[in-house]
Amino acid sequence: MVTTAGEAFLRGFHAERPGVTGDAFGHGRSADGRTGYEALRDRVAGCRRVLDLGCGDGVLLRLLAVGDDGRRAETVAGVDLSPEALALARRRPELARAVLVEGRAQQLPFAAGAFDACVSHMALMLMDDVERVAAEAARVLAPGGLFACVLGGGAAGGEAYEAFLRLLRPVLAAVPEERRMPPLGDRRVRSRDGLDAVLGPAGFGPVEWETLRIDLGGSPEEVWRSVSGIYDVRTLDGPARAGLRAAFLAEAAALAPPGGGPVPCAFDVHLATAHLTTARLATAAGRG
């Protein structure tokens, strides 16, 4: 498997923390009460065969396999760089029949037209050579197939997430060059226009884009568990991480409302969808 410096970092990170994204986002809900995973599941409801790019430990695949209102996917498949995350996915009873493959989204081991939808939760923005990912998604989708993803949008509002990032900045600046995180993914996919520019040439129609504010509020310790799941934290040594945690817990406690209640913390995610347009399939095939 050809890998980049970014992919090697991701594999190392998820070897240590294979279920980190579900731990951070599995309980966070948007205004309508759904998690980002549930919002994505609902976007592809009715699709029979669904592939998850960067499926991690299978939180989304499980939801797709179980379904909602009887609308479950018949075939679910996932690809991920991390064998440790996939091992956790394989332990889920609901995924006993799922096809779970260690590999790169840039080189999918599936036949052309094998899926009705490709989904990706908090993973597309980490992927290098994202044009190749788009071309591969177009290749494995049936005509008219749906691409749907949730992308990280960043801290939302003057709350605990911003306090965490403010405390993190100087600690990261002190990390020696050789321990720093390599650049991950392609920033273009974090905006609607950028994602359009990536997906369009692969044969997809215009991107529909919605921003959801995910409430990650809770006790200071719970909020720490959510915010400290970000990749940069892996570059910190033990004392730096412990110092950051202590400083954050003190600030977070002060952010709690008088008389108690959850520490406010929110994170924006973008929910983006695009259909493969049959008219442009020839272009996509030419690039495949």
Binding-site member from 55, 77, 156, 265 for ligand SAM (CB under 6 A): 55
Place of tokens 């003057």: 158
**Alpha-carbon gap, residue 282 to 288, rounded angstroms:** 10
Binding-site member from 28, 43, 65, 80 for ligand SAM (CB under 6 A): 80
Residues in the interface with ligand SAM (CB under 6 A) total 22
Tell the smallest beta-carbon distance from residue 159 to ligand SAM (Å): 21
By CB under 6 A, which span of 66-74, 119-127, 195-203, 249-257 interacts with ligand SAM? 119-127
By CB under 6 A, which span of 81-89, 170-178, 198-206, 218-226 interacts with ligand SAM? 81-89
Binding-site member from 28, 44, 51, 56 for ligand SAM (CB under 6 A): 56
For position 21 contacting ligand SAM by CB under 6 A, the verdict is: yes
For position 104 contacting ligand SAM by CB under 6 A, the verdict is: yes
By CB under 6 A, which span of 55-63, 109-117, 241-249, 251-259 interacts with ligand SAM? 55-63
For position 122 contacting ligand SAM by CB under 6 A, the verdict is: yes
Q: What are phi and psi of 7, to 5 degrees?
A: -70, -35
| Tokens found for residue 65 | 């396999």
Binding-site member from 50, 51, 65, 85 for ligand SAM (CB under 6 A): 85
For position 196 contacting ligand SAM by CB under 6 A, the verdict is: no
Q: Are 265 and 228 in contact (CB under 8 A)?
A: no
**Alpha-carbon gap, residue 167 to 170, rounded angstroms:** 7
Nearest to ligand SAM of 197, 230 (CB atom)? 230
Binding-site member from 50, 76, 77, 81 for ligand SAM (CB under 6 A): 81
For position 14 contacting ligand SAM by CB under 6 A, the verdict is: yes
Nearest to 153 by CA among 69, 74, 209, 207: 209
User: Which residues sit at the interface with ligand SAM, rule CB under 6 A?
Assistant: 7, 10, 14, 21-22, 54-56, 59, 79-82, 85, 104-106, 121-123, 126-127
